[in-house]
Amino acid sequence: MAGNKEVFNLLRQLARNAYFYLLPLSSSRKKFILRHQVFDACGENLFWQPRKLPSDPKCIRLHNNVVVAADVTFITHDVIYLLANRMGRGPCKEHLDCIEIMDNVFLGHSVKVLPGVRIGPNAIVAAGSIVTRDVPPGTVVGGAPARVIGRFDDVIDRQRLESESIEIGDRFDPRRIEQAWRRFEEKHAENHAEKRTEE
């Protein structure tokens, strides 16, 4: 009887994950997360872009104003114990640990967060980083493994200054895209001129 219950729970979890994956908008995924209390805790103003739910969501706490970009992965356990046990080095058990994301944190595209990590508050994790240890408050980290590469306030202040020169509106508005290309070309023209001066 216990086996049937386990199979039923597994099928229900697979169906839930498939449904979540097919939700078209990050706003609809956020509503799903809140309605079903997916995580151990979830604060206000969550932005959740990934289409996949973590395998152990109850080991994850998200505080207020957390922005999670596409393809971010939360890893709360490993299966190294299988290797050790098969080598006769056991008995070893599965390692399971928690992850906590504090207030005002941005996790960039394809970030991987490993077990036992606390990030922030006021922290930015650059795209593609692998977070193997705590991220100090007020920092920007990047790399594999992630290391401090800047200050949170510097990035936020720069973003504010840059956004003042961008027209507000739909990001797919052709005028905004033209303006972005103009800024891109100006920036690269300046960089090219600086290189020629150095030579």
Consecutive H or E run containing 6:
helix 2-22
Q: Where are the alpha helices (DSSP H) in 65-199?
A: 80-86, 152-164, 174-198
Task: Give catalytic status of residue 77 as yes or no.
Answer: yes
Strand partners, 151: 139
* Residue from 77, 95, 188, 192 carrying the catalytic annotation: 77
DSSP-assigned letter for residue 59: G
All residues at 6 or more sequence positions from 124 whose CB lies less than 8 Å from its CB, including other chains: 105, 106, 108, 139, 140, 141, 150, 152, 155
Tell me the catalytic residues.
77
